[in-house]
Structure formats: structure tokens, C-alpha cells
């Protein structure tokens, strides 16, 4: 079994750690991309919406903002309602 994540799982995680979504059209990225900023740290991150994000891809995306996949798992899955969201 290959574990994949959906784009909204990463979106939920980023919002939980104080990143705010910036409308794609305001930063001139395609609509199938999501773009976030942390106002405090000024770190930004963008990624393509996909329901087939591998662990490897998640690690690469999170590394861009100096976070680990393990931290994502700890934060995202601490809410029992999120458990059924993974596939």
C-alpha cells in the first residue's frame, strides 16, 4: 500500500500553524496551485492541488519551510477527525 495525502490535508496543516492562504490570482500563480504565507516569519510556500501527494513529495514541500513530515503527522493527526482523511 502506498500512502498518499490530499492537498486539503496540507492546507489544513498549514492553517493550523499560522499560515494564511493568499488568493492565487493575487500572486500570479495558476488556480490549481495554493499559496500560503506566515505573516510572522514571512515564509511562503506554494504547491499544486493534488489528491495523490506521496510522502516523498510532502517531505520536499515541507522542507522548503524548514518543517518535517513527522511534524506534519504530529500536528495533523492529533485531531482524531483528520484520521479518516488519509488514504
| Residue 43 pLDDT level (bands cut at 50, 70, 90) | very high
**Domains of the chain, start order:** 4-72 (3.30.920)
Model confidence, pTM: 0.83
- Whole-number pLDDT of residue 83: 56
Calculate what percentage of the chain has a pLDDT beyond 90: 71
In whole numbers, what is the pLDDT of the chain averaged over residues? 89
How far is 28 from 56, CA to CA, in rounded Å? Answer: 27
CB 25 within 8 Å of CB 31? yes
- For residue 81, is pLDDT > 70? no
- Three-state secondary-structure class, residue 57: helix
Amino acid at each position: 500500500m502506498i500512502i498518499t495525502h490530499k492537498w486539503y490535508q496540507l492546507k489544513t496543516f498549514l492553517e493550523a500553524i499560522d499560515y494564511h492562504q493568499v488568493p492565487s490570482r493575487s500572486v500570479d500563480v495558476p488556480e490549481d496551485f495554493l499559496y500560503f504565507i506566515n505573516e510572522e516569519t514571512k515564509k511562503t510556500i506554494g504547491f499544486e492541488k493534488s489528491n495523490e501527494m506521496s510522502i516523498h513529495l510532502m517531505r520536499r514541500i515541507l522542507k522548503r519551510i524548514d518543517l518535517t513530515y513527522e511534524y506534519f503527522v504530529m500536528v495533523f493527526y492529533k485531531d482524531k477527525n483528520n484520521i479518516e482523511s488519509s488514504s
